Amino acid sequence: MHRTAAAHASPRLFNAIAGSILAVAMWLIVAVPSYAQTPPACKFILGFQTLHDLDPADTGDCLDNQAFASNGDALQHTTNGLLVWRKADNWTAFTNGYRTWINSKFGLRQRLNSERFEWEGAPALTSQLSQQAQLPDGRGYASYVWAGYVTFRQVTMVSGSWVVPSVTDTSNESEGEWVGLDDDATLLQAGTDSNRQQAWIELFPDPALFIPKATLRANQGDAFSVTITALGGGQWSVRLQNQTTGDVYQVTRQFDGAPKRAECIEETPVKGAYVDTPMRAPYPRFSPVPFTACSVNAVPMAQQDPMYTVRVDPNNAPVAVPSAIKPDGSFSVARR
């Protein structure tokens, strides 16, 4: 039988070699643990855990633990993208760089990164944009759907007048002008849809009730006015008048809230379902909308510390901008 060199070595030499190997092995274990031990595993927590559990396939596995950015947002990288908790609006979202999933009060909804849902809320209005619109800095905010003026106070009456504009791009299903009041949960409003050329009344979130054209005309170019007045006991009178024809439509609506905000607004609502359909260009083009006599509780809105709202697109570029409001409550909204 062939014998190795180790077989012919003396016991003393063999023991010395074995001892050296054991010493080196022990040194590797003790002296360099960073190479020998597995780093702690990452995990999802709180809202990131919830969103991941709702859609683990799209979200992927964690690559690191949640950390906070300098602006207060929480971030966590995954194998498929990035989880974000936005401090500004308290939304938890995931993006893969192309699409975004948002865990909202309506459940998990997804859209392209270039789109926005109406209910997401637009970013803060920049000083530069206010200056471009020749509006006072710090007295306005951005919206994905509204352009006009809002005042915050207890409301018992709101009224306003306007001229129904012409629309040159009817890609969106609606383009409207209205006055209204709300308590954050419910919005009572009435106005015109210049795309459909119809008047309407809405107790949002219920759908709008369109008034038959034979009952009340709302043609492009017609002068229109709306007055909403508290009658007591949660009853509100809603009066619409076509000032061009003299026709009037008046109804009573039940609204049990305590309105704390009133509006005179030009709006392009999202096309499709409010909850599930993100906004997409193109937006309808319309002639300037002149509003007059916008008042709250029989006092011109201009005298009640109003805030303006500028409608922006998903890239935060201005789409519709109101002019400065005059002492009598008049202003106009122009398409950019």
Peptide bond into 282 cis (omega under 30): yes
> Could you state, in order of their start, the residue ranges of all structural domains in the chain?
12-113, 127-335
Q: Return the CA Rg of the chain.
A: 32
Q: Looking at the domain that runs over 127-335, which CATH code has it been given?
A: 2.60.120.700
Backbone angles phi, psi at 296, to 5 degrees: -130, 125
Mean pLDDT of the chain: 83
The reported pLDDT for the residue numbered 276 is 59
pLDDT at 11 over 60: no
DSSP bridge pairs for 142: 310
Nearest in space to 157 (alpha carbons), one of 257, 293, 299, 327: 299
pLDDT at 8 over 60: no
pLDDT at 18 over 70: no
Position 205 confidence tier, pLDDT thresholds 50, 70, 90: confident
The reported pLDDT for the residue numbered 173 is 62
pLDDT digits (tens, 9 = 90+) for 290-310: 999 999 999 999 999 999 999
The reported pLDDT for the residue numbered 272 is 54
The reported pLDDT for the residue numbered 285 is 87
The reported pLDDT for the residue numbered 43 is 93
Span 25-42, mean pLDDT? 47
Nearest in space to 106 (alpha carbons), one of 96, 91, 94, 95: 91
Share of the chain above pLDDT 70, in %: 79
Q: When comparing pLDDT for 111 and 282, which is higher?
A: 111
Nearest in space to 165 (alpha carbons), one of 135, 144, 196: 196
The reported pLDDT for the residue numbered 255 is 93
CB contact at 8 A, 333 and 289: yes
Q: When comparing pLDDT for 245 and 271, which is higher?
A: 245
